[in-house]
Amino acid sequence: MRPLLFLALVSIPLAGCAGASDFGAGVGAAVTAPLDDLNLRRQYIPTVLLQAEANPYDLRNLDQCSTIGAEVVRLDEALGPDLDEPPAPDGSTMGERARDAASKAALDAIRDTTTDFIPGRSWVRRLSGAEQHSRHVQAAIQAGRMRRAFLKGVGMNRNCAPPAAPGWFRPRGRSQR
């Protein structure tokens, strides 16, 4: 019980920071992590990722740069920005970054403490189906990344402007519509 008391004491100063609502949401997710292990709560898989998993190279209705770009944007919304996109400047100070790192460390410690009380956790995850669902989530994410890369390659080949092509690509002459 001492680790939980320690984590609670560490969390109090962090919760008073500017990102208190983010930290509070993170604490909630960390404390309820055992629900994932018991397969009582499942991570949602966006439809666009399930479609990518089913057929990552599908080009039906993607005959124009605008439709390719729209599909890439849908994938970006589900996956976050692609590796070819420069990170958005967040304007954070060194102190804010240090506070965020401390907050992440505290949340990781809380998550570890709440999941460590489950004896034979890996077996519980396997028997409950949580491990299989976790693998499905990762496979859908990988399929989405693969589809996004494929579509950007198709867009580049068709001389499309971003987002239907990588962010660094500049179409030669006029891009196709």
Model's pTM, two decimal places?
Answer: 0.61
**CA-derived radius of gyration, the chain:** 21
> Residue 14: what pLDDT?
45
> Residue 90: what pLDDT?
64
Interatomic CA distance for residues 110 and 10, integer angstroms: 10
Instruction: List CB contacts of 8: < 8 A, sequence separation 6 or more.
Output: none
Q: From residue 73, how far is each of 69, 70, 82, 146 by CA, in Å?
A: 6, 5, 10, 14
Region for residue 50 given its phi and psi (left: phi exceeds 0; alpha: psi -120 to 50; beta: otherwise) = alpha
pLDDT in single tens digits along all 177 residues of the chain: 444 444 444 444 444 444 555 656 555 565 555 555 554 556 788 999 999 999 999 999 999 999 999 999 999 999 998 887 766 666 667 676 677 677 767 666 655 665 555 656 565 666 666 677 788 889 999 999 999 999 999 999 999 999 999 999 999 876 555
DSSP calls for 49-65: HHHHHH-TT--TT--SH
> Residue 72: what pLDDT?
96
